[in-house]
Amino acid sequence: MARKIAAGNWKMNGTGAALAELKAIAEATRDSAAEVLICPPATLVHAAATTMSGANVAIGGQDCHAVTSGAHTGDVSAEMLKDAGASAVIVGHSERRTDHGETDITVRAKTEAAQNTGLLAVVCIGETLDEREAGDTLKVVGTQLAGSLPNSITDENTVVAYEPVWAIGTGKVPTLEQIGEVHDFLRAELVARFGADIGNAIPLLYGGSVKPSNAAEIFAVSNVDGALVGGASLKAADFGPIVAALSQA
């Protein structure tokens, strides 16, 4: 059985003042049976990791470059994130795929970089509204899953996050049946490629307007092992109940 993970993606939000809220999140989730991960902006990774030293909250990055170092102005490598105190990194988020033109090949290279550095790779996949309405959801996420994951994945170095692009930050949420269909499909694909032991143990997170009000019902869906949360992870008052719901699922 896959372990439970509640991950928060702060995106381009937060300055040093946000560390106080991070402490509140740690306190609110102190007794959680689920793993808790917060991915702040790169400028806060070191300070956040220092602040969370000895706490139950792990710190991750939101992206990494595929190579260790070089002439890549403004980019951050997986090695740099680890040196700053991160234990994980998000790769392939739809906002990176859309805004920066990242392909499955790019995401795969970043996943390998994270794994080679000892970081947990949170690999994101998901369909657009047009793809959903065209009936291509499983084809799209299946292609992204196959192309974004290297052969070296294990349940210790990789998490897969399904985020329907049309549900991120919009307040729109797929039906529980739609979420279950995709997660069951992804589980079957992982088992077929990596075998039952690894395929069944890789955590599958759902992301897309997860809130305290809908978290429990989402976590009750087959093969949903946790969540990748956006805006609701910025405040302990919102993220705490989501983590609590996962702990009780």
Active-site pick, 102, 163, 183, 189: 163
Domain coverage including residue 163: 5-248
Q: Is 163 a catalytic residue?
A: yes
Q: What's the residue count for the chain?
A: 249
Mean pLDDT of 3-23: 97
Q: For the chain, how many structural domains are there in total?
A: 1
**pTM: predicted TM-score of the whole model, two decimal places:** 0.97
Is the separation of the CB atoms in 7 and 37 below 8 Å? yes
Active-site pick, 21, 65, 93, 112: 93
Q: Is 65 a catalytic residue?
A: no
**The pLDDT value given to residue 158:** 98
**The pLDDT value given to residue 186:** 98
Sign for the CA dihedral angle at 214, 227, 223, 131 comes to positive
The string of pLDDT tens digits covering residues 155-208 is 999 999 999 999 888 888 799 999 999 999 999 999 999 999 999 999 999 998
User: What's the CATH number where 187 sits?
Assistant: 3.20.20.70
